[in-house]
Amino acid sequence: MKYEFTEDDLQEIEKIKAKYPEVKAATLPALWVAQNRFGHVNSDVQKLVAETLELPEAHVHGVATFYTQYYKEEKGKFVLDVCTCLSCQLCGGYDVLERAEEKLGIKAGETTDDGMFTLNEVECLGACGYAPMLQITNDKYVNNLTPEKIESLIEDLKAGKTPEYEQIEMPLRKVK
C-alpha cells in the first residue's frame, strides 16, 4: 500500500512546523497526524513522515518506536488499553481484562476478526486513584471499571456510542 498525506494533512503539518524553531520538534505531532490518517505508523508511514519533514528516517523511527501511543502496526478501530499495574491489579484489573477477552473472543495483544477491537494489557496510565481503568484509542479514560461495566462499554462501542469524558472531582485538602 502506498501512503500519502491529503492536502489538509500537509497544511496541518506546515502549521505544526511553523510553531517550532527546529523541524525535529514537529516529529511527534506530525506522527499524530499520520496515525490519525492511517490508523498506525508502520515503517512505510514513518518513511512518509520523515520525507515530509525532511528528516532522517532513523530519527522518525526512533521517536515512533519509543512511544507506545504510536501504533507500529494496524490496530482495531477501538484500541482498549487495560491497565493491570499495581493499583489497577489490586482493584480488579485482571478481572476486567479477562472479561474483555471473553466478550471479544480474543486475548490481550490481539485484534478481533472484524477489525473493530484491539485489546492490550498495559502498564500504568496514571489514573491509579480511579482503578481499575482503561484508555480507548489513546483518548478517553474509563474509570472504576467492573467486569459488567467493560461488557457494557464494549456493547456501546459496537453500537457507535463512545463514552463522554468523565470529570472526577478531587476533594480539596487544607494544608496545615
**Tens digits of residue pLDDT in 103-153:** 999 999 999 999 999 999 998 888 888 999 999 998 899 999 999 999 999
5: closest CA among 31, 23, 26, 25?
31
Residue 24 cell numbers, joined: 525535529
State the DSSP string of 106-146. --TTEE-TTSSEEEEEES--S-GGG-S-EEETTTEEE-S--
How many other C-beta atoms are found inside a 10 Å radius of the C-beta of residue 95? 15
Distance (Å, rounded) from C-alpha 148 to C-alpha 143?
Answer: 13
pLDDT at 9 over 90: yes
Grid cell locating 94: 485482571
CA nearest neighbour of 82 among 65, 67, 66, 101: 101
Contact indicator for 117, 76 with CB cutoff of 8 Å: yes
List pLDDT tens digits, range 149-165: 999 999 999 999 988 87
| pLDDT score for 165 | 75
Q: Which of 11-20, 22-31, 51-60, 165-174 shows the lowest per-residue confidence on average (mean pLDDT)?
A: 165-174
* Burial (0-12, 13-18, 19+ Cβ within 10 Å), 136: middle
User: What's the CA gap between 11 and 89, in Å, rounded?
Assistant: 44
Let me know the angle formed at the C-alpha of 140 by 135 and 142, rounded to the nearest 5 degrees.
60
pLDDT of residue 173: 64
Q: Is the pLDDT of residue 41 over 70?
A: yes
Taking the C-alpha atoms of residue 106 and residue 118, their distance in angstroms, rounded to an integer, is 9
Distance CA 114, CA 170 (A): 40
- Indicate the pairing of strand 134-136 with strand 117-122: unpaired
